[in-house]
Chains A and B, each alone.
Chain A
Amino acid sequence: MGSMRIARALTIVMCSVTIAPLAASGAAEPADAAAPEELIFGLSGSPDTLDPHATTGTLTFQTMRSVYDTLVEPDREGEIVPALATGWESREDGLVWEFELRHGVAFHDGTEFTASDVEASLNRLRDEEFASPSIHEYAMIESIETPAEDRVVITLSEPHAPFLSTLASGWSAILPEGLIESGHDFGSEPVGTGPFRFVRWIRDSELVLERNDDYWQDDRPYLERVEFVTITEQSVMAQALQAGQVDVADLVVEPELSTLREAPNVQIYEGTSALVMVLAMNTQREPLDDLRVRQGINAAIDKQAIMDNAYAGGVEVATFMDVANPYYRDFTDLYDYDRAWAAEIAEETDFDGDLVIAVPQNYAPHVRAGELYHEMLRQAGFPVRLQLVEWSTWLSDVYGDSQFDLTVIGHTGKLDPHGRLARYGTEDTYVQWIDKTAAEAIEKARRETDPDVRSEFYEIALRRMAEDLPFVFVGTPYRYVGLDQRIEGFHMDSQLDTFDLREVRFRQ
């Protein structure tokens, strides 16, 4: 009796599961007559806040890129081009920056955009009390002046080459002065000058934006509405894309990637990411403080196998820079994959217990990579153990407090190489790798404005990192976004990992 009831319940569940996608695709049919003007965008996570000044979370920048503008922005080649500023000039060896602002731009609440909004926004970012997590990027600002409504002059206390890149990044969003002063809650109700205006946000569920008809770029954006929906499960996301329930799947990895490549109504947007996937090593802990041990671990890892089997493909790197970056240098011939040699090192090393590989458990590719590292090291004779840690614990204990031996992670880039390399070579990074040569080169590069000279300094730092291995540098993965077949004009700012939806539209 009991089992009969269960069997019937199962049948009902299974039927409804198989019917649901059919019903959905059937319903979508008539709408195809005219090209849709609403984009359903599947996000694999939910932003922690909508205030771009108050977070370092990529999901915030990815969604708020469509609500806010910055003074300058990266174009499709990564060059920095005008946005809210129509032009700029730097004087006195990069100490004084003058921006000319765009006319006739309005915030979504109707107020006009002027120089005082820029001043108020930058002051908010510098405010010790507000304590923006990006505050250090603005620390060298000495004064901000607004000689005219359309003119901003920023004076720095020292030359700082990454400054323009900082202003082009999502966290330098320009907010309206009036609302900043009245203490408006930007975290849940953003007001910007961007191509889309905010409609509503239901945390962990959906974020709805609608077209800003007064956007300063003529006839942009094309779309009437954008609805971000959070789908954390990769397989569910892939099925939703195939069934036409979402138009974009923000991140596609194997095994779903192979399935989606075959799907007739799906196209795959391929880009190189700005990520560097690593196996980070705590260089202050025994026996990892010994370069030979780090070399042994490095030699035991088959990097291409990690990229192919954990991260859906990518390009090997041997230093702390993504392949597509203009500052990237190839050091892959420095060390070889050599399991026999790794085994010799493992043999002659004294281990005080297992080396623990900490793996953030919220991201399946890292877990898969962790299992691959574990087996490669085990085969070479290193005593290893895997430990899954929750993301918040990873951030506080591993990244914040260096409580780890080995850990699996990917490092994102910033528009300027300084964003990635800041503080490396000093004890203030989680790998605690101390190297005077590298630290000095990174600091000199920061103060240097000539790109060629900077490049030389960065080469010194990157070579030291490649030689001394604070990380097993593994590779830069490809980035795959799943798109409805009819979508055109989709673009990602690869160094910032954000989506530009202004040019997106459905083909007729």
Chain B
Amino acid sequence: MTRDRDWGLRIALFVLAAGAVLSARATAVAGDPLLQRLDAMLLPPGTPGHPLGTDHLGRDMLSRLLHGGRSSYLVALGSAAIAGVLGTAVGTVAGLIRSRWMDRALQILNDGVLAFPTVLLAVTVALIFGPGRLQVMWTLGIVYTPVVYRVARLETRRTVVQDYYHVSHTLGTRPLSRAALHLFPNVIPQVLVQLASLAALAIGTEAALSFLGLGTQPPAPSWGIMLNDARRYMTQAPFLSVFPGLAAGLLTFALQFSSDRLAGRLQHDG
């Protein structure tokens, strides 16, 4: 373990945590995101009572921004969790199994999922099950599974040829404890690095799909929807598009940055 204090990583993690807490407590912090005030539309940031101003229907932008964060966190964390669990499970099994045939079959399935364009799949899912953020979360979870699968399989393969793993095998350690002791400590950090970067992708994709009307459904706020609404008021109220864009950028950056730093540490440690 390196002993230096990585301030960059700390700040990134703080941003992620602060965003999560603020979004979770959005109503307490900033009030009702749906409340319309038709006498107070397009107020600029800094207006008393509306620190970030109001949108085209007189709704508080701060409240919408924080509530919109819920969609982003839900989809990012949810899809990462789905991909993490599925990918790790299938990947380690594929890494342990000796059957060449089975490995090949999984590989083909994997390539199939990877080859399918994400947005096209999301559109198809929205057509069949109706649009919504849970659908987006599941779609992304499944799309990201092959990425995690590859990492998990590779890391498993790498581990099982190590001497200590062989020794442990010869000593007769039970398969499950062997996995817990020697395999997962190698696989899971690598998977986490991947997941952080996938979660960053998910935030952008959720915003894009909501922008297109395929993700979170109005009037519930989402950064994508807010950007879509703001687009029409670019000349009168440019600030409307600044905050959701900034929030999505910041969150994506923090996740990607954490992922990079964690990967760097693993390399040093390895």
Enumerate chain A interface residues (CB-CB to B < 8 A): 234-235, 255-256, 258-259, 305, 309, 361, 364, 367-368, 370-372, 374-375, 378, 386-388
Contacts and interface: CB of A to CB of B under 8 A. Distances in A.
B218 A367 contact: yes
Contact of B130 (A259, A367, A378, A387): A387
A361 B213 contact: yes
Per DSSP, chain B at the interface is loop
9 nearest A-B residue pairs (beta carbon): A375-B36, A371-B219, A361-B213, A388-B213, A374-B219, A255-B233, A305-B38, A386-B218, A255-B232
A255 B55 CA distance: 13
B261 interface: no
B232 A386 contact: no
Given A255-B233, A309-B57, A375-B36, A388 B218 contact: yes
B267 interface: no
B35 interface: yes
B47 interface: no
Given A367-B218, A368-B57, A259 B35 contact: no
B56 interface: yes
7 contacts: A255-B232, A255-B235, A259-B236, A309-B57, A361-B213, A367-B218, A371-B219
A374 B57 CA distance: 12
A259 B235 contact: yes
B217 interface: yes
Interface in B199-234: 213, 217-219, 231-234
A234 B235 CA distance: 13
B154 interface: no
Contacts of A387: 130, 217
A364 B219 CA distance: 13
B201 to A, nearest CB: 17
B131 interface: yes
A73 to B, nearest CB: 37
Given A235-B234, A367-B218, 13 more contacts: A235-B231, A235-B232, A259-B235, A259-B236, A309-B38, A309-B41, A309-B57, A368-B56, A375-B35, A378-B34, A388-B131, A388-B213, A388-B217
A375 B217 CA distance: 14
Nearest to A306: B38
A366 to B, nearest CB: 12
A375 B219 contact: yes
Contact of B56 (A255, A256, A370): A255
A371 B234 contact: no
Contacts of A372: 36, 57
A105 to B, nearest CB: 46
Contacts of A374: 34, 219
A388 B232 CA distance: 19
A371 B231 contact: no
